[in-house]
Structure formats: C-alpha cells, structure tokens
Amino acid sequence: MPIIRAAKKSLRQAKKHRQENLKKREAFKSVIKKIKKLTLTKETGEAAKLLSQAYKALDKAAKGGVIKKNTASRNKSRLTKFLNKASKQVTSTSK
C-alpha cells in the first residue's frame, strides 16, 4: 500500500478509472456479441437496429482512451461488413 498521501489518492483514482474503462469495454463488447448472435440466427433486421448502439459504444470507448481511434474504426468497419454479407445471404436464400 502507498504511504504518501498523493500516492493514496492516485490509487483511488486508478480504481475509479479502471471501473469506468471496464464499463465502456463491456458496453461495446456486449453489443457486438448481440449483433453477431442475431446475424448468425438470420435476424439481420434486429442486428441492423443495434448497429448504431455499437457505433456509439465504440466511439465512447475511443474517446475515453479505452481503445484507440483506429481500433474503433476497424471494429465498426468489420461489423458493418459482416452484417452486410449476412443480409445478402439471407436475401439470396429467400428468393
């Protein structure tokens, strides 16, 4: 445990920041998992509705420094690509 008062405060702040960062990380990961699960069960309409929530969560995580900006951008791109590919497969199989 820290002895100096400033170090104690730093430890308290680090704990709070860690909790916030974990919340932001869990937010975008859970939305991405939901989207992938819905897409794999051929419910692309529901997954498309959640896409904006995923974008928002990824942007918040990038803004807060939980992940880098390019990582958020890459995740958004791959998620959209995955969803578009799945929706094309659903429409082609339903014809």
C-alpha to C-alpha distances, 90 to 36, 45, 82, nearest whole angstrom: 14, 11, 12
CATH of domain 5-94: 1.20.58.110
- According to the model, what pLDDT value does residue 95 have? 59
Instruction: Check pLDDT > 90 for residue 25.
Output: yes
| Whole-structure pTM value | 0.86
Q: What is the pLDDT of residues 38-48, one digit of tens each?
A: 999 989 889 99
Q: For all residues of the chain together, what is the average pLDDT?
A: 93
Going from N- to C-terminal start, the domains of the chain cover 5-94
Q: What is the pLDDT of residues 68-82, one digit of tens each?
A: 999 999 999 999 999
